[in-house]
Amino acid sequence: MAAMLDMAFQLLAFFILTFNPGEVEAQISLLLPLENPLQSGFSQSPSEAAAEMALESLAFPVEVEAYAGSTGDLVRIKLGDQEIASDEATIILETFSQKLANILSVPGFDTVHLRVEANMRYEIFLRILDRCVQQKLASGEPLTKISITQF
């Protein structure tokens, strides 16, 4: 029995030493169209592009442009014709989220074209994206049509 107990302690010591608790991670899931979006918001095959153009003429995309400072922090967001600027990025994001929610509450708006300055920090970009993903349309459905480009 003592030998078995010794063996059991060896195994236990191995598993304790190799135990590495993972941090709780969250994720932002996206389903993006294929191919390079730098030419257009939705770049697809010619037939799909034609169909998309027909749909685009019915839908009203919300144009969002996010600008970064020299350090990569968020300095302002241009939402359609509105400019949102502040010294605090959190204030910009909160204001942006509220204004975007107001726009999307109007039937007909179901697409967001998000353009982000290339030197913006990745963390800030994800915060903007997260705010977009959390939005709901006038129908109550979550916002799913988001195109992302950099400039």
Partner 1 sequence: MHANNASDRCEPNLVPILDMVFQLITFFMLVINFKAASVDRELELPVIGTAAPTLAEEDSDLLVLNLRSDGKVRVRGELVNDPVSFISIESRTIRQINGIATGKPLPVRVVLRGDRTISTRSVMNLVDACRNSGFNKFDFFVVRSATQGKNP
CB 127 within 8 A of CB 93: yes
Q: Which is nearer to partner 1, 7 or 106 (CB)?
A: 7
Span from 30-38, 79-87, 98-106, 137-145 in contact with partner 1 (CB under 8 A) = 30-38
Shortest spacing between CB 95 and partner 1, in angstroms: 16
Instruction: State how far the Cα of 41 lies from the Cα of 61, in Å rounded to an integer.
Output: 10
Least separation in angstroms between CB 7 and partner 1: 10
Using CB atoms within 10 A of its CB, is residue 26 exposed (0-12), middle (13-18) or buried (19+)?
exposed
58 sits near partner 1 (criterion: CB under 8 A):
no
- Of residues 151, 130, 145, 150, the one with CA closest to residue 33: 145
Question: Roughly what angle, to the nearest 10 degrees, separates helices 122-133 and 89-104?
Answer: 30
Number of residues lying near partner 1 (CB under 8 A): 51
Instruction: Note whether 39 binds partner 1 by CB under 8 A.
Output: no
DSSP lists the bridge partners of residue 83 as 78
Q: Which residue lies nearer to partner 1 by CB, 30 or 85?
A: 30
Q: Is 139 in the site for partner 1 (CB under 8 A)?
A: no
CB of 36: closest distance to partner 1 in angstroms?
Answer: 5
The Cα 72–Cα 84 span in angstroms is: 17
Q: Which residues bind partner 1 (CB under 8 A)?
A: 1-2, 4-5, 8-9, 11-12, 15-16, 18-38, 45, 72, 116-127, 129-130, 134, 148-150
